[in-house]
Amino acid sequence: MRVLARFSALAVLAAALCSAAAHATDVNFITDFGYNGRHSYFYVALDKGYYKSEGLNVTILRGQGSIDAIRKVASGAAMIGFADAGALALARSNDSIPVKLLAIVYAKPPHAIFTLEDSGIKTPKDLEGRTVADSAFSAIPLIFNVYAQATGIDAKKVKWVSAESASLPSLLATGRVDAIGQFTVGEPLIEASVKPRKLVRLAYKDGGLDYYGNGIIATEQTIKDSPDLLKAFMRATLRGMRDAFANPAEAGAVLNKYHKEISPEVGTGETELVRELAVLPGRPLGAIDEEGIKRTVDIMAKSYPMKQPVDPKDMYAPGFIE
């Protein structure tokens, strides 16, 4: 009888799990660009079943830059996305795109320009007369004007060219461009691509800039219609993030399972650098501070033409970090 009872209990549990899976809500989530080590925590949440336990069937889509991710979310091609807060400020101001932040992951500026030590570029001013490549929808060129102002660069003397994000390390390594735009979290991948040559990193935050980088986004309509779904997504993502930050090596190995082209070592290194941007003393993981949003909007207003002023309160939706 005990065996039968145990079998019956297992059957009930299996049926419940099958039912939950059958009724899981499909969610398309789009990255800021590509699939990289910096995205490892999303895959940790996926691999460990954290999304599934929240009733979500998450598909992770490849983005082509923050602006692309914002547009894809706005159009409904993706329900949730990962995008730069500054790019979102521009999208709201210039195109009235009704998308908001649910959480901030990069609480410090991640934007940077990378070059090689033997290029002769040692300071920001040395970028004048040089060519810098970045993806077409990247936020790094958008914010370059304010970085140039802060560091004394004549922005008109720097030439930017567009390239596929995956090709950027190769362009730098082969000398086809003098420098590339990349987030600081991408340093391990670039470093692996240019070895044994040495990298020089010109980080926007080292130029004295202080603003938000990437966060989780959704449309105002989804925020209104499906707040519980978005909260569930955030709970699962934050679980994955905490696990990844506690064990970056495990996160790198998990990502490598899904994307063999990303070595566990690169995934580990990028996860460690994300942790440096995301974990701040006294700040809950993912929390948005209105003052941080205001600094971000102000940076964008100085850096790029904005048709309409953006109220910081309109940039984010509170209540999604539990």
Reply yes or no on whether the pLDDT at 187 is more than 80: yes
Mean local confidence (pLDDT), 141-147: 87
CATH code 2.30.30.100 for 25-108+212-314: no
Structure-token pair, residue 95: 């195109």
Element housing 1 (H / E): none
Helix 227-246 to helix 248-258 angle (10° resolution) is 120
In the chain, residues under CATH classification 3.40.190.10 are 25-108+212-314, 111-207
pLDDT of residue 93: 95
Rounded CA-CA distance 41/37 in Å is: 9
Contact 186/135 with Cβ under 8 angstroms? no
- Which tens digit of pLDDT belongs to each residue from 213-250? 999 999 999 999 999 999 999 999 999 999 999 999 99
Give me the numbers of helices (H) and strands (E) for the chain, helices first please.
Answer: 13, 12
Rounded CA-CA distance 275/219 in Å is: 27
- CATH top class, domain 111-207: alpha beta
pLDDT of residue 8: 52
- Which tens digit of pLDDT belongs to each residue from 254-286? 999 999 999 999 999 999 999 999 999 999 999
Sheet holding 199-203, edge to edge: 159-162, 131-134, 179-183, 111-116, 199-203
pLDDT of residue 7: 45
pTM as predicted: 0.85
